[in-house]
Structure 1
Amino acid sequence: MADTDETPPARPLRADARRNRDRLLTVATELLADSHGQLSLEAVARRADVGIATLYRHFPTREALVLAVYHHEMEQLGRRAGELLAAHGPDEALARWLGELSLYGTTRPGVADAFRAAAASRDELVHRTYTHITTALTHLLRAAAQTGSTRTDIGADDLLPAVCGAWELPDTPTARQQAGRLVGLLIDGLHVTPQPPQAELP
């Protein structure tokens, strides 16, 4: 048989293993907000009612578990772009989505550092997580640009670092107000004032 460089596809998880993985992710998501970036694997396994060995089979390191939580939540946030566009006009959808993104990192310590490394990382999951967000933001920007009210020379890679600056803020009422003002400033910067039609020369 001829040699091949193709990697065989990963075997799908059994139903019980998939349930365990989903439960671990759910618990880790709940605990991460209160862990100040120091998520305890033992606490996750205990609350998920699985053995620590089961946790390590799915997530061999704490970093792997945290990244899986971020990836799961970024997938959800990516889908929110379509939901917001279906419920609101493009400009309003963009503003609401940026607001949700700006507040996300304040409840997820360490996510700012993870996303700063995303562009240069060779980790496939990190890259896919970053891509979920840039794809959703690009979709929103294009929809808003089609209305003629938003600049067309600003892309997701330009805007994302500015929004994620709010992720350095703590999860406090004051910080949430700051994040809202930051998003308002960015929306104002994206806004294009329609030019009045020029009068025809006689």
Structure 2
Amino acid sequence: MRADAKKNYSRILEVARQVLIEEGSDASMRDIARRSEVGLATLLRHFPTRESLFEALLSTNLDSLTQKAVELESSHPADEALRTWIREWVEFAQSYRGVVTMMAAAHTDPASALYASCAAVHSTSARLLSNAQAEGTARPDMNGDDLFALMTALGWAVDQPSFAPRADHLVHLITSTVFASRVNFQISNGVRSQ
């Protein structure tokens, strides 16, 4: 990449990050180009779609998030690792308005530029859930798809101004659901525990 193209690329990402924080994922590509002081054609040459721009922007954060899961797995009990992972996910979701909605749409679309990142988040959360289930601390009737759906719903909720102040409480409610005790699970399903 030529020096001027590399400079434009870096500037676009820097501006896009700021615009995403300020305006959310519906920000205009034209506005990002204008604020980056490049033409729309230059922006589109680097990032032909909104998803490709956000993938480039978010990949570092999502890579760090999945790396954090690896660290948690090796240093914490399985239930604590999963609880912490969910909180880290919520912090990520609160940092980039509207991105969770895009990720929810992209996670089943292999043609999406965000698909690989979504797949990494999905497989990481599924692995952490499986570890907690093996330990006997997470409810056994959930799978990775269920957890990804709950995390996405939680990410969407805390992205809304009316729910953002209740983020900690909402995280507690979701994690309480994930970590329902075996006795509670058996009773709620009509099975009397011994």
Regarding TM over 0.5, the answer is: yes
Q: Is the 8 A contact 1:103 1:179 kept in 2?
A: no
Computing the radius of gyration over CA atoms, which structure comes out larger, 1 or 2?
1
Q: 1:135 to 1:149 in 2, by over 3 A?
A: same
Structure 2 residue aligned with 1:28: 16
2:47 to 39, 59, 63: 59
Q: Is the 8 A contact 1:70 1:111 kept in 2?
A: no
TM-score by length of 1: 0.70
Higher helix proportion (structure 1 or 2): 2
The alignment partner of 2:114 has SS state of helix
1:105 aligns with 2:93: yes
Structure 2 residue aligned with 1:85: 73
Distance in 1, Cα, partners of 2:83 & 2:2: 39
Distance in 1, Cα, partners of 2:115 & 2:121: 10
State the superposition RMSD in angstroms.
3.1
Write the deviation string for residues 135-176 of structure 1: whole angstroms up to 9, x where unpaired: 11022112323322223331221012122223144465x734
Deviation at 1:98, TM superposition (A): 0.6
Distance in 1, Cα, partners of 2:175 & 2:50: 36
Matches within 5 A, 1:1-202: 14=1, 16=3, 17=5, 20-41=8-29, 44-45=32-33, 52-166=40-154, 167-170=156-159, 175-191=163-179, 193=181
The one-letter code sitting in structure 2 at the alignment partner of 1:76 is S
Deviation at 1:114, TM superposition (A): 1.5
Deviation at 1:53, TM superposition (A): 4.3
Q: Give the number of equivalent residue pairs.
A: 181
Identify the range of structure 1 (152-161 vs 132-141) with the bigger mean alpha-carbon deviation: 152-161
The one-letter code sitting in structure 2 at the alignment partner of 1:34 is E
Q: Is the 8 A contact 1:102 1:164 kept in 2?
A: no
Identify the range of structure 1 (116-125 vs 132-141) with the bigger mean alpha-carbon deviation: 116-125
Distance in 1, Cα, partners of 2:149 & 2:182: 27
Identity over aligned pairs, percent = 30
Distance in 1, Cα, partners of 2:116 & 2:27: 23
Write the deviation string for residues 62-100 of structure 1: whole angstroms up to 9, x where unpaired: 443234334443333222211333443322221121122
Unaligned runs of 5+ in 2: 184-194
The alignment partner of 1:83 has SS state of helix
The one-letter code sitting in structure 1 at the alignment partner of 2:57 is V
Deviation at 1:52, TM superposition (A): 4.9
Unaligned runs of 5+ in 1: 1-13, 196-202
TM-score by length of 2: 0.72
Distance in 2, Cα, partners of 1:193 & 1:79: 28
Q: Is the 8 A contact 2:107 2:119 kept in 1?
A: no
Identify the range of structure 1 (19-28 vs 179-188) with the bigger mean alpha-carbon deviation: 19-28
Distance in 2, Cα, partners of 1:92 & 1:15: 47
